[in-house]
Amino acid sequence: MEPLYESKISCICCETIFQSTRVRPSFKRASAVDSDFCGHYDNGVNPDFYVVRICPSCGFASTENGLDKLNDTQKKNYYDRIGNNWKGQSFNGERTAEQAMASYKLALLTAQVTGVKDRVIAGLLHHIAWLYRYEKNVAEEQRFLKFALEAYVRVFELEGVSVNNAKLMYLMGELNRRIGELNEAVKWFSRVVNDKKIMDAAMIRASREQWQLIRQEAEENRLGKAKPASQEVGSA
Ligand SMILES: [Zn+2]
């Protein structure tokens, strides 16, 4: 069975009905998942490459989590900033890593000019960081992890602590850990672990593990630094 198939989508901006390439569920199983939920796929097809749907007529790019409809102001903003410059390139069929990156950046711009929720924008920024991770482009990955983190923080400030936010709090811890802000990371992990209102066992476990990892690495660094010092003493 082919991993890719076409599905019909109606553009919420110009109402064109177009085919968008999708990945069959049986090909969506990751061979490994990173601690910030980035999936790795060794069967040749990365389902993340096909998350963004792009209308060939007007270029409107969105994901399933995007808006359901656009009002007149949002449409005008979209055409003024993006749609009027759309050259009609196709994103149909198999996507390269380069096309996947272009699709996410287009979705990000589209989300920003149409005023999509921060939670969706955070997800797009986080996905772009993952695409850079696949390419081993550490500098860009770090840059986009920081952007994603800032957006997750805005979401949290808006929504506050609710039962559904354990994963969000864990992610804020984990992204802080990945960009080297260890004190901030520990702050979020300890909140997930110690807040009695949080019942999400998977996120509590993950927070405990990553908190432990920070402690372990700090200890290794301490010993690593202590070693040359003691050698100096010995050789003196
Ligand atoms: Zn369209």
Domain count, the chain: 2
- Using CB atoms within 10 Å of the CB of residue 162, give its burial: 0 to 12 exposed, 13 to 18 middle, 19+ buried: exposed
Verify that 3 and 117 share a domain, yes or no.
yes
- Cα of 206 vs its chain's centroid, Å: 18
Q: How far is the CA of 17 from the centre of ligand 1 (A)?
A: 8
Q: How far is the CA of 130 from the centre of ligand 1 (A)?
A: 27
Verify that 221 and 234 share a domain, yes or no.
yes
Question: What's residue 236's pLDDT?
Answer: 37
Verify that 60 and 155 share a domain, yes or no.
yes
Angle at 24 between CA 2 and CA 112, to 5 degrees: 125
Q: How far is the CA of 232 from the centre of ligand 1 (A)?
A: 69
Report the distance separating Cα 180 and Cα 94, nearest Å.
36
Range of the domain at 6: 1-159
Report the distance separating Cα 1 and Cα 236, nearest Å.
70
pTM of the model as a whole: 0.90
Report the distance separating Cα 32 and Cα 22, nearest Å.
21
Q: How far is the CA of 154 from the centre of ligand 1 (A)?
A: 30
Question: What's residue 163's pLDDT?
Answer: 55
Residue ranges, the chain, pLDDT below 70: 161-164, 226-236
Q: How far is the CA of 39 from the centre of ligand 1 (A)?
A: 30
CATH no. for residue 64? 1.25.40
Question: What's residue 203's pLDDT?
Answer: 96
